[in-house]
Every structure is written in structure tokens, then in C-alpha cells.
Amino acid sequence: MYKKPLSTGLLGLGLPLALALSGAGIAVADEAPELTEEEREGAPELTEEEQERADMIYFQRCAGCHGTLRGGATGPDLLPENTQELGQRRLERIIALGTEGGMNNFDGILDEDEIELISKYIQGEISEPPEMSLADIRDTWEVYVEPEDLPDEPQHDRNWENFMVTILRDRGAMGIIDGDTKELVTEAETGYAVHVAKESSDGRFWYVQGRDGRLSMIDLWMDPPQVTSEVFIGIDARDVAVSHYGEWKDKYVIGGAYWPPHFVITDAKNMEPLKVVSTRGYDTEGNYVHEARVAALYNTPHQPSWLVNVKETGQIWQVDYSDLDNLRVEMIESAEYLHDGFFDPTGRYFQIAANFSHLMVFVDTETRKRVGMLNTGDIPHPGPGANWIDSECGPVAGTTHLGEGLMTAWGNDPDGHPDQAWEICFSVETDGPGLFLRTHPDSDHVWIDQSMHPEADVNQWVMVMDKETRELTPIQVADRPIEHDAVAVHMEYDQTGTEVWVSIWARGRGHQDDGAIVVFDDETLEVKDIIEGLNTPTGKFNVYNRMNHIG
């Protein structure tokens, strides 16, 4: 039985994960093949304590790209027959220095002993964490403030629509920052390594999915804002979405798990789990996929449905939430492996990266059919994406890439510009691979990060593209080079559309509290303010922009 979380455990992870990934709590699954005798002899031995420590490191730093069962996804597989062939010294060098294919260096994140340990670990036996039933999930459900006890109006006089809901990644919290005063209002305790946060239709409530499976609901009207209810929907998870359509507006929340591979539908008022659905199935070539992870979740603006992107299968599931007892699911085949996506300005067309196939995939959510696929470069990764008007191609969208320093833009207006639709308009070269780009309808610029490059003289800078000329201007985010491991990552505009906030994600050992957010004037590209002393800030979500789908 999956036990209810009791406290925050080792490395900020919830107790369920610590139990599930500990040496005593793992059962080897049929789908995770046992080592051959030769492989077993070639695997370095680990003590029980080392095994537990390595389980944690792998979950935190490796599983997202290489899979819970080490079968590979965005990154290659880490199966014993391959890792043992590379050998201990080669594995240590790869982990320490990264690769040109998009894996960042870990020599500033893990110490030498940890790099040695994880190199040994990935040569050994693969183990599978436990499953979770709806009853198991319900056992983790907590309500801290009953819906009827929530305030009827804001309990503070701050401009909460200009709050920046900010991921403090390794801190296991969301920083609520006042966009007007640049003050950190509070740190709301949430799951470890939050990947994303999504808003209620009025922007008041925010739903936050931690990598440890902890799905939390935050009320911005409370003083200070705080978590009102939560539930663990898995032991490894990434995304969340809210129902925003018609009579179902703000009725349901969906959380998607990496492990177990399923999605969970909850009551949006108090996070009560209502339904769990497995995503295991078959990929585009008909191969069974046991670890079919939910990569990303989105509400469709013109339909009572969510998009559930099943990473390893290459299928985009359009899940109709109008009748949970008779769940309707369209399975739209695209390509492997699905990751992040975003809508065009009309909210009709969905644009998502199938990054292992180097493709952007386009879906018409009204007809519930795929309308195009486009090779944009090596391993596209648009993050929240960006839409703007190009002087030659008209309406376009763009993506950065994990595998190369490249931003590619394509046409996304099939009605007004059919000849440009789902075709490359142009590409510009940056100095290194990145994770995010962002713009605003009133801005002349597109901001592009380079956070996946291993060198500080690239990853601590961003590129700012002029929409008219397509020329790039390099901007150093910090006022001086940061000697320890830190990258400039994730841009977000404020409510006025005149400020751009860029995170400095300080990842180096002992320097996690050195993180900051640098606020730029979007017109002059000059620094306006610096919010310092933040613990590992990454993604930021402006309440006004997100609830109005701006950017």
C-alpha cells in the first residue's frame, strides 16, 4: 500500500518518494529486465546506503531525460549492456562535462563522489517503483482550508494580478513575488522541483505540480498566499491543467505523472481525486510502451477537453472532460517523444515538440486532428513558446532547441496565410542551445535563453531578437560573470508588458541561495531591478498574462 506523506524527507523530497525509491521499497519489474550473469558480474557493487543515495540522485537529476526505468527518452537509454561498455571513467567524464547533444555538465551540481556513485549506479540492475491506485492516491489527499472557509475577497491590498508565481526549484516551494514592488511576498511550500504552474480562469488559484508527484492548490487572495489543499498523484510527475471551458470552468484539475504512467482528475475546489487513467499503450510503430509518461497537459480554449501528451508513445490524447463517467479520448498520433507545447494566438491550434524526432507537431483542437509536422532543428524545446507577427511571413511562432544554438520560426495562421502555415519562415543562430523563448504582443523583441550551453560565458547570457530586423543582441543577465554553476533561464513579461524578468538559476553546490531575478526594461534592454537571495528560481508565471493568454 502506498503510504500517506508525513513530512519532507531527504533532499526536500516527500516521504513517499523516499520510501518508493529506497532499496528496501523497490521491486524489480518484468518490464525492467534482470541483468545477465555477465552484466551482473560487470556491475560495480553498492552498499544499501549507496543504493538509496543513488536512487535519489537519479530521480532528481537523470530520470526526466533518461526515464524512470532508464529506457531513454530525450536522452539515450542507460541500460547496463550499454553503460558497462562505456566503463566507469568514461561515464564519469560524460556526467561531469556534458555532451554536445544537449546534456548539460554536472560537475558544478554534483560533487566528485556523487558523480562516481551515479556512474556506478547506472551500470547496475534496473528497478521499478510501485504502482498507485485511486485508493492510494486518495490516502495522500489533504485539505488545509475548506472551500467554504476561503476568503470572499483579497485579504491584502497588493496588485495580485501582477504577482509572479515563481518556481524555487530545489527549495520545493513557489515564491510569490509582487511585480509592482519587487518584494518576495511569501514562499508557499509545494513539491520538489516544480515543473510548471497553471491558473484558474480568474487567476486567483494556482495549481502546482512537483516532480515528486505533489499537486498543490494555492490561493493568491489569502494573506499571505498559501496552499489550501494537495494530493500526491504519483511519485514522479510534471504537469497540470485546469478545465476552463463552458459549464465546466474551474470544475476539474488534471495532473500527469511520469510514474506511474497515468493521469489523475481531481475536484478543482479541494483537490479530491476523482479518476485515474493509465497511459500505457503502443507507440507510432506499434511497440508496447510500459513507461508511457505524461509529458504535458493543456486545456483547449474552444472545447471541453484537455490535451494529454503521452511522451514515449508519440500520441496526443484529447480527453473530453464533459462526462467523466463516459470518458471520451481521441488518440492523435504524432511522433516521439512529446514534450512541451503552446497554442497559437487564436487558441485553436496546438504546437508541441516531438523532440526526439526533431519535429514540431501541430494539432487542430476543434477537428481534433493533426494538421502538420515540421523539422525545425535538433531537439526542439519551446517551453511556454512565443507567437508574434513577422514582417514577411505574418503570424509566426518559434522554438529554441536543446541540441543546437538555433531559434526557428514557422507560420501558424492557416486561414490568413495558408502558404506559410506549418512551414519554416526563418531561423537564427544563437551561441548555444536553450530551453525557453518569450515575447509580448506590444514588444519589439523576442527573448531567447541559452541555458543548455556548458560554458558560463554563454549560458549566463540571453539573446534578444528584433522582430523587424531579426537581428540578435546578446545580453549578460548578471552584472558580472558568476563563478559557480548558474544559468540565465526563463523569461516572463510583467502585467504592463514593459518589463522582462529573467531568472539566474544558481545550481552550484552550496550556492543555491545565490539565485536572483533580473528585471529588464524591454525597450532599452537595460537592467531596472534585481531581486536577490532567491533559492534556485527558474520558471515564472505572471498572473495577468497567463489568465489572459498573453505571449
Q: Check residue 454 and report its DSSP letter.
A: S
Q: Output the CA angle 166-63-173, nearest 5 degrees.
A: 20
What is the Cα–Cα distance from 67 to 59, expressed in whole angstroms?
9
- Report whether 215 contacts 266 (CB < 8 A): yes
Phi-psi region of 100 (alpha: psi -120 to 50; beta: other; left: phi over 0): alpha
Q: Catalytic: which of 195, 244, 262, 339?
A: 339
- Report whether 384 contacts 432 (CB < 8 A): no
Is 465 considered catalytic here?
A: no
Is 425 considered catalytic here?
A: no
Q: Catalytic: which of 56, 103, 222, 463?
A: 103
- Report whether 498 contacts 522 (CB < 8 A): yes
- Other Cβ atoms within 10 Å of 241 Cβ, number: 25
Cα-flanking dihedrals φ and ψ of residue 380, to 5°?
A: -65, 145
* CB-based contacts of 270, cutoff 8 Å, min separation 6: 143, 146, 147, 217, 228, 229
Candidates 211, 237, 166, 98; CA nearest to 489 is: 166
| Bridge partner list, 252 | 267
- Say whether 265 sits in a helix, a strand or coil: strand
Residues in the chain: 551
The dihedral through the CA atoms of 22, 23, 27, 30 has a sign that is positive
Half-sphere exposure of 381 (CA within 13 A, CB side): 22
Helix, strand, coil share (%) of the chain residues, nearest 5:
20, 40, 45
- Other Cβ atoms within 10 Å of 533 Cβ, number: 9
- Report whether 10 contacts 225 (CB < 8 A): no
- Report whether 45 contacts 3 (CB < 8 A): no
C-alpha cell at 547: 489568465
Q: Catalytic: which of 65, 331, 373, 547?
A: 65
What is the Cα–Cα distance from 196 to 354, expressed in whole angstroms?
19
Is 62 considered catalytic here?
A: yes
Q: To which residue does cell 485515474 refer?
A: 276
Is 547 considered catalytic here?
A: no
Rounded alpha-carbon distances, angstroms, from residue 437 to 145, 158, 318: 37, 29, 26
Q: Catalytic: which of 195, 262, 381, 445?
A: 381
Candidates 395, 399, 423, 391; CA nearest to 410 is: 423
What is the Cα–Cα distance from 162 to 545, expressed in whole angstroms?
9
- Say whether 137 sits in a helix, a strand or coil: helix
Is 1 considered catalytic here?
A: no
C-alpha cell at 274: 476523482
What is the Cα–Cα distance from 238 to 236, expressed in whole angstroms?
7
Is 103 considered catalytic here?
A: yes
- Say whether 200 sits in a helix, a strand or coil: coil
Q: Catalytic: which of 66, 195, 440, 453?
A: 66
Residue 545 amino acid letter: N
Provide the CA 361 distance to its chain's centre, in angstroms: 18
Q: Which residues are catalytic?
A: 62, 65-66, 103, 339, 381
